[in-house]
Amino acid sequence: MAGDPAIQRNLEAAWPADLPLSDERELLNAGRTLLRADATGIGRATWPQVFPNAGRQAVAPAFATARFRIQAAIARRDTSPDTAVVHLVWAGMDRGGTFTDLRITDLLFTRTTEKGKTTWTPQPRI
Residue type at 117 in one-letter notation: K
Asked if pLDDT for residue 122 goes beyond 50, the answer is yes
How many distinct structural domains can be found in the chain? 1
* Residue whose C-alpha is closest to residue 91's, from 31, 40, 52: 40
Q: Which domain does 71 fall in, by range?
A: 5-122
How confident is the model over 29-51, as pLDDT tens digits? 999 999 998 888 888 888 888 88
